[in-house]
Amino acid sequence: MPGRRNPCPTPSLERSPFQAGLKWPTSYTGKSGAAPSASRGRGDLLPDIAAALSPHGLILRGGLNFDAGEDAPPGPSGAPAKAVLLVGQGGASPWPHFKAWRKRQPAGLANPLDTWSAEIIGAVAGEFEAKAVSPSDRPFLPFQRWATRAQGLEPSPLGILMHPQYGLWHAYRGALLFDGAIEIEHRTTGAHPCDRCVAKPCLSTCPVGAFTADGFAFDRCVGHLRSPEGEACLDGGCRARNACPVGTAYRYPAEVQAFHMAKFVR
């Protein structure tokens, strides 16, 4: 429900599932297998998922029905899922919630952001008869391909998907898999900002030219990050990503970028 519960300081304009082009999976029967509640019609349930995610700074990032015969991951029943809803962030909205949670965790917890995401999204999945999966699950699930289909996003020259509103400052923290189909009204479209970007500063800012015609030169980037000269990227984030003029209002604060860079270079 737009604006119903969103204590997070970062605006999350995708918080309405209807803006994301979604309706509730048609097979939904209510919480914990109970009969549908008369007081909560089926059309309320997708907003309820958004409302359950919102206090954690998380938003729905669109969804899709798997095609017949597609190699879909197992849903809650163990049979191939029929639909997926992507969960993530636009801007750094989960950060304060994650940080507060992290203070309560043992020091040195490995992969804290994944653990936090799995905890929150897993609880929401349990409430809505879904199965939670993570972008870090192995083998990797095709989150970016799903996002492309769900919201019509296209890759930037950096490999990160470009969002017309959030620019490069968005990510996926998990997904909800369902045994039933979702009715999709429309998907968010819009011109791909990179098509109109003539200067493409993202491609000329990396000090070691890690974005090449053959793709991202991971070793070159990490080699730089591990050298004394890499401090600027480590502390302030990827210079190429920061050079993009789109969605700058959603740019992650330096603290958040440093957290991701530390994980990336580890």
Show the beta-strand stretches assigned E in 111-169.
131-133, 154-155, 161-162
Identity of the residue, 76 or 230, whose beta carbon is nearer to ligand B12 in the bound complex? 230
The reply on whether position 190 binds ligand SF4 by CB under 6 A is no
Measured over the CA atoms of residue 137, residue 143, residue 146 and residue 147, the dihedral's sign is: positive
Interface with ligand B12 (CB under 6 A), residue total: 24
Indicate whether 97 belongs to the interface with ligand B12 (CB under 6 A). no
Among 233, 250, 251, 257, binds ligand SF4 (CB under 6 A): 233
What is the distance between the alpha carbons of residues 104 and 112, in angstroms, rounded to a whole number? 11
Structure tokens at 257: 């970028």
Distance CA 255, CA 229 (A): 19
> Residue 135 corresponds to which amino acid?
P
Q: Residue 197's binding partner, choosing from ligand B12, ligand SF4, none, with beta-carbon cut-off 5 to 8 A by kind?
A: ligand SF4
Residue 216 identity (one-letter amino acid): F
Tell me which stretch binds ligand B12 (CB under 6 A): 78-86, 97-105, 169-177, 193-201: 169-177
Q: Does 193 interact with ligand SF4 (rule: CB under 6 A)?
A: yes
- The contact pattern for ligand B12, residues 243-262, with x = CB under 6 A and - = no contact, is -----------------x--
> Least separation, in Å, of the C-beta of 94 and ligand B12?
11
Nearest approach in angstroms of CB 223 to ligand B12 is 12
CA 54/CA 5 separation, integer angstroms: 6
* Cβ count near 48 (within 10 Å): 18
